[in-house]
Structure 1
Amino acid sequence: MVIDRGTPQGAPVPRLTQVGPELAEILLSRAVVNRRLDWGQVDFLTDSIIRGEWQLTHQGIALDGPLDTGCLLDGQHRLNAIIKAGVSVWIYVFEGLQESAFPVLDTGKRRSGVDTLSSTGEKYLPLLHSTIRHVLLFKDMPDSSWSGSRARIANGRILAAYTEDSDMYREAVATGRSLSKHLFASQTGAAVGYFVTNEAAPAAKVASWIKGLTSGANLEVGDPRLTLTKVPHVKGRGRKRRYTMREQVAIYIKAWNAWVQDEKIENLRFRKTEKMPMPIEVKFDR
């Protein structure tokens, strides 16, 4: 295989640059074409910057000339996020990109969260990704909607969460697949409920909880485990629809909390205006 190590004529020159809000505004004022902005994407990038999760990659800003005079061809979302965050970040600025390249910018397929987790060798990757994402949403924004642009989680954060607690996430996925056969909740809803309650209790307590949900043997009326297994699917117009993921997790936790406190409960529901219940912590037996 022959590799041409020469530089093609007219190739853009990358320059690693620290871009702050002031420079971002200057570059945006020199935009050749003002694309319609996806403000959800801007908010997503802004949150990444504010959280300190911004990653330096090959993706950056493209100009048709040098930094001090070139017109902006690509990078509007990143620059608007820098302005909105009010924070400077390191980013590659490509100088001298041919304007004829504009139509093919950003036409590639984005890497999904599932793609990011593929290197882990885990099974059930869509379920694993969904579980991690919703556990993070539970911790970050329990009382807000878990859909829409504000609910996006960066792929790097998904992978970092998995790496930090891979055994527990693997266990949650397996348990969610099993529990969903006995509950109204989806595999993800059951996995997230299991994960967040398991964090609050010793293994023996959790094992007793799971056994009651899966077998139902010798459970009295009013036992929260029995009540949870009796929660019906919500019926829509001519077909069944599931509760939202936030509703599923909330109802699971409500049942858990009642069980931990030895309370009898015969009905479980969660109104959208309610705050997310937090799992009651169970002290470890000594």
Structure 2
Amino acid sequence: MKNTSVTPAALNNSATAAVTMLVTPEMAKELLKRNTHNRNLRERAVADYARDMAAGKWLMNGEAIKFAADGTLLDGQHRLHAVVAAGVPVMMLVVTGLDASTQETMDAGRRRNAADAFSLRGEVNATVLASTLKRVWMWEQGDFKFAQNRIPTVAECAALLVERPEIRRSVEIAVRIHGLFRYIPHSSLGTSHHLLSRINGPEAVWFFARLGDGAELPAGHPVLALRQRVMSERADRRTIPDYRYMAYIIRAWNACRDGRDLGRIQQAPDAPMPMPK
């Protein structure tokens, strides 16, 4: 295959062909005029792809922009829209001359997520690592309640890990603490450990050790209040959103930092997320 361009005339081709080409935003707009028979556009997917493209993190992985023999776009509308949104040219594989019926079999497999990617890289605790990176990234974007209006791509999670390799240590500790105290999800433990360790590492070591074992905690101690709160809610079989676990942990942390007793931890659904100090 050669690096070339596909003209509108070449899209109407009964013989299957494949070429690599640099797709510019202007070219993407022209190709999208052939998008007359496709699934509904997912704006978030376009935004995710566009961020990777604009950051230079988009890699050509063999997935093609596909056209039917009559020139109809069969697959690739999200990537083409992302090129337009990012405003940068992107190298892509383009396949033409396909039977229109093949569209029914496209994208039938499960898309690889960040956990899959980190597992392929040989990362330990890949699933917990991926979920922790996702929540740290969202927190840094100001999404303190993890509403998921904007979630990181695999490339953005990988970039965050390069920037903050210490997150691996937070994940290791999260797995260890969860083994001792199974009432808080791995991702909440990993995310909070990373955030609190950046504020005060030695105090975070003690805080999470006591969260795990509950040793020598007097009545009124914030960590004891934290343990009792999550155990009580789990005993009642309540569904606790991730952000509430984070709020409970931060409230206990802040009370420890202030030297305050804490008899009970509360977080109303409409209350803002407390910020760690």
TM-score, normalised via structure 1 length? 0.77
Residue in 2 that maps onto 1:212: 210
1:35 counterpart (30, 36, 39) = 39
CA offsets, 1:129-179, max 9 Å, x none?
2122112122223335434xx34321122233334434x333222322333
1:229 and 2:241 equivalent?
no
Alignment length (residue pairs): 262
2:257 counterpart (260, 275, 279) = 260
Give the 3-state SS of the residue equivalent to 2:199 in structure 1: coil
CA RMSD of aligned residues (A): 3.0
Residue in 2 that maps onto 1:146: 147
Query: Aligned runs of 1:150-229 on 2, under 5 Å?
Result: 150-166=149-165, 168-180=166-178, 181-182=180-181, 184-202=183-201, 204-229=202-227
- Conserved? CA contact 1:30–1:71, under 8 Å: yes
1:273 and 2:270 equivalent?
yes
The runs of at least 4 aligned residues of structure 1 exceeding 6 Å deviation read none
Per the TM alignment, residue 93 of structure 1 is displaced from its structure 2 partner at its CA by 5.0
- Conserved? CA contact 2:251–2:274, under 8 Å: yes
Counterpart Cα distance in 2 of 1:254 and 1:51: 36
CA offsets, 1:203-251, max 9 Å, x none?
x322222333234344333321221111135759x96134211221122
Give the 3-state SS of the residue equivalent to 1:157 in structure 2: helix
Per the TM alignment, residue 110 of structure 1 is displaced from its structure 2 partner at its CA by 1.8
Residue in 1 that maps onto 2:9: none
Residues 251, 51 of structure 1: alpha-carbon distance in 2 compared, 3 angstrom cutoff? farther
Residues 76, 220 of structure 1: alpha-carbon distance in 2 compared, 3 angstrom cutoff? same
Structure having the larger proportion of residues in helix: 2
Give the 3-state SS of the residue equivalent to 1:275 in structure 2: coil
Query: Aligned runs of 1:85-164 on 2, under 5 Å?
Result: 85=85, 87-92=87-92, 94=94, 96-100=96-100, 101-147=102-148, 150-164=149-163
Identity of aligned residues (%): 22
CA offsets, 1:159-202, max 9 Å, x none?
33334434x33322232233334374212211211111011113
Counterpart Cα distance in 1 of 2:132 and 2:224: 24
- Conserved? CA contact 1:216–1:226, under 8 Å: yes
Residue in 2 that maps onto 1:73: 74
Counterpart Cα distance in 2 of 1:234 and 1:70: 61
Residue in 2 that maps onto 1:55: 59
Counterpart Cα distance in 2 of 1:97 and 1:173: 48
Counterpart Cα distance in 2 of 1:214 and 1:169: 19
Residues 107, 12 of structure 1: alpha-carbon distance in 2 compared, 3 angstrom cutoff? farther
Counterpart Cα distance in 2 of 1:183 and 1:103: 43
- Conserved? CA contact 1:18–1:91, under 8 Å: yes
Residues 133, 18 of structure 1: alpha-carbon distance in 2 compared, 3 angstrom cutoff? same
Give the 3-state SS of the residue equivalent to 1:13 in structure 2: strand
Residues 274, 86 of structure 1: alpha-carbon distance in 2 compared, 3 angstrom cutoff? same
Residue in 2 that maps onto 1:283: none
- Conserved? CA contact 1:225–1:255, under 8 Å: yes
Counterpart amino acid of 1:232? V
